[in-house]
């Protein structure tokens, strides 16, 4: 498999850390001078950029949150005059005001290159025909992948989202080899093809680049087996750059974060403390090369863990696990951080399919108790009480060993867990009521 920029992607760690330090210091010098919000934040704690002398000194700096972006709506966080900005994107304002991000001409070039890196890692070459089924617009996804594919020299079909049947027709007629969309839309396409009686093997598709929403390994397997493609994940968020923060290599053992451009940290979402490598926590990112919209310690709210072990693909850049949900979903049970997705993973492993479940947290006396309710399905229905009990005990044991928190597991009637828009209410926390 090709590597787009081996000089950076395979850089020995010692060299990489020097480059990161240089770029971090330059970024801090620029934001301190040009962005009032950062200058105020640093002044508040009596810090000047010169106080950052090593990568670990980054921990002295305050976090940046979505709230800061809203307070400085629309252009307050820009580090260059608007005249130098060649593109403006915005994230959806589902909760309050949207956030606005900008790119200089150089930022667009950086962005194209970073996207080209993970597209190349996924196996895209200049011979490919890339169908982009992300919505073009204020959302960064479509443009990011578009630029990356063009940088590689592939043929881009800017389809935009929606109109599934037309998507399939173009896929057939234009002999699309690479599909870019959300993982859930890939399933929708597979479903529709099934309905229309189209054999996915008759298509030219070979690679899928899926992102913009969290998805599980189970979903990867489903997409791969139904569309007969290699399904790869990539990660990004518009506040940082859009797609191009990290992406799968052919090993599919975690997404390489492009560390020459972004400095990752994992923190405890409750305390803000930086956690040692390998811990599960919230991803915090600092941009190292952005001009228009640099971010210092931006809290992504995405939960993941980092793996610094060398990767068989030859890239030296750290790998992040698939995101395991949002830090806003995190529960603290007996002082342990628990994410619903962790339990989902366990249930998937023992059941073999996505179950409907519900977590009920309560407090008995001073003790937190966790109850996991699972809807009975064919797979886990047993006539014998003895086998039923053995199954429940096995699940309890797995939860205890993975989470470090004991739980009682209960089977409940099918369809007894209330659903909203097809999704079950995953968590009931009675402690807060």
Partner 1 sequence: MLKIKNINTYYGKVHALKNVSLHLHKGEIVTLIGANGAGKTTMLNTISAVTPPSAGNIIFEERDLAGLSPDRIVKLGICQVPEGRQVFKPLSVEDNLHLGAYLRYRGREGRAEIRRDLDDVYALFPRLLERRKQAAGTLSGGEQQMLAMGRALMARPRLLLLDEPSMGLAPLVVQEIFRAIEQLRQERGTTVLLVEQNAKAALRMAGRGYVLETGKVVLEGLPSDLLENNDVQRAYLGKDKKEIWER
Query: Is 22 an interacting residue with respect to partner 1 (CB under 8 A)?
Result: yes
Lookup result for tokens 């000194």: 57
Query: Is 33 an interacting residue with respect to partner 1 (CB under 8 A)?
Result: yes
Chain center to CA of 152: 23
Is the Cβ of residue 232 or residue 289 nearer to partner 1 in the bound state?
A: 289
Q: Please name the helix (run of DSSP H) or strand (run of DSSP E) that holds residue 94, with its range, or none.
A: none
Query: Is 84 an interacting residue with respect to partner 1 (CB under 8 A)?
Result: yes
Query: Is 420 an interacting residue with respect to partner 1 (CB under 8 A)?
Result: no
Is the Cβ of residue 114 or residue 347 nearer to partner 1 in the bound state?
A: 114
Taking the C-alpha atoms of residue 159 and residue 39, their distance in angstroms, rounded to an integer, is: 42
Query: Is 40 an interacting residue with respect to partner 1 (CB under 8 A)?
Result: no
Contact string (CB under 8 A) for partner 1, positions 233-272, x = contact: ----------------------------------------
Contact string (CB under 8 A) for partner 1, positions 50-79, x = contact: x-xxx--------------------x----
Kindly give, in sequence order, each residue whose CB lies less than 8 Å from that of residue 418, ignoring residues fewer than 6 positions away: 424, 425
Min separation Cβ 35 and partner 1, Å: 12
Is the Cβ of residue 50 or residue 67 nearer to partner 1 in the bound state?
A: 50
**What are 357's two structure tokens?**
């479940």
Q: Please name the helix (run of DSSP H) or strand (run of DSSP E) that holds residue 48, with its range, or none.
A: none
Pick from 3, 10, 13, 23: which binds partner 1 (CB under 8 A)?
Answer: 23
Give the three-state DSSP class for 333.
Answer: strand
Q: Which of 241, 238, 218 is nearest to 322 (CA)?
A: 218
Please count the residues of this chain forming the interface with partner 1, following the rule CB under 8 A: 27
Min separation Cβ 230 and partner 1, Å: 32
Min separation Cβ 223 and partner 1, Å: 38
DSSP-assigned letter for residue 326: B
Q: Are 375 and 413 in contact (CB under 8 A)?
A: yes
Is the Cβ of residue 147 or residue 357 nearer to partner 1 in the bound state?
A: 147
Q: Which of 281, 326, 285 is nearest to 95 (CA)?
A: 326
Pick from 81, 96, 310, 406: which binds partner 1 (CB under 8 A)?
Answer: 81
The number of beta carbons lying within 10 Å of the beta carbon of residue 404 is: 13
Q: Are 338 and 407 in contact (CB under 8 A)?
A: no
Q: Are 146 and 137 in contact (CB under 8 A)?
A: no
The binding site for partner 1 (CB under 8 A) comprises: 15, 18-19, 21-23, 25-26, 29-30, 33, 49-50, 52-54, 75, 80-84, 105-106, 109, 289, 291
């Amino acid at each position: 498999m090709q590597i787009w920029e081996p000089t950076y992607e395979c850089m020995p760690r010692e060299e990489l850390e020097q480059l990161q330090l240089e770029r971090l210091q330059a970024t801090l010098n620029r934001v301190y001078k040009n962005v009032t919000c950062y200058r105020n934040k640093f002044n508040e704690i009596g810090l000047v950029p010169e106080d950052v002398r090593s990568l670990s000194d980054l921990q002295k700096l305050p976090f940046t949150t979505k709230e800061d972006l809203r307070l400085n709506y629309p252009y307050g966080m820009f580090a260059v005059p608007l005249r130098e900005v060649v593109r403006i994107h915005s994230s959806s304002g589902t909760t309050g005001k949207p956030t606005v991000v900008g790119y200089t001409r150089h930022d667009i070039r950086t962005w194209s290159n970073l996207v080209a890196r993970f597209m190349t890692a996924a196996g895209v070459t200049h011979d490919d025909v890339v169908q982009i089924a992300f919505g073009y617009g204020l959302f960064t996804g479509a443009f990011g992948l578009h630029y990356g594919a063009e940088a590689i020299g592939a043929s881009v079909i800017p389809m935009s989202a929606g109109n599934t049947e037309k998507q399939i027709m173009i896929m057939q007629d234009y002999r699309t080899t690479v599909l870019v969309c959300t993982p859930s839309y890939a399933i929708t396409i597979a479903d529709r093809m099934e309905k229309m009686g189209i054999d996915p093997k008759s298509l030219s598709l070979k690679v899928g680049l899926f992102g913009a929403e969290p998805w599980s390994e189970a979903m990867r397997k489903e997409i791969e087996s139904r569309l007969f493609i290699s399904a790869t994940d990539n990660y990004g968020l518009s506040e940082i750059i859009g797609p191009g923060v990290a992406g799968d290599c052919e090993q599919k053992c975690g997404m390489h974060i492009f560390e020459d451009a972004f400095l990752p940290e994992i923190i405890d979402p409750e305390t803000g403390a930086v956690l040692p490598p390998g811990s599960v926590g919230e991803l915090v990112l600092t941009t190292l090369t952005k001009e228009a919209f640099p971010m210092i310690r931006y809290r992504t709210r995405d939960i993941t863990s980092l793996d610094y072990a060398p990767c068989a693909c030859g890239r030296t850049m750290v790998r992040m696990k698939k995101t395991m949900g949002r830090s806003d979903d995190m529960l603290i049970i007996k002082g342990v951080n628990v994410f619903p997705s962790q339990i989902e993973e366990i249930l998937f492993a023992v059941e073999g399919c996505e179950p409907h479940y519900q977590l009920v947290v309560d407090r008995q006396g001073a003790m937190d108790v966790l109850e996991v309710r699972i809807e009975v399905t064919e797979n886990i229905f047993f006539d014998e009480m003895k086998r039923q009990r053995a199954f429940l005990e096995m699940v309890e044991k797995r939860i205890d060993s993975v989470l470090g928190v004991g739980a009682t597991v209960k089977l409940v009637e099918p369809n007894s867990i209330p659903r909203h828009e097809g999704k079950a209410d995953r968590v009931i926390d009675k402690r807060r009521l």
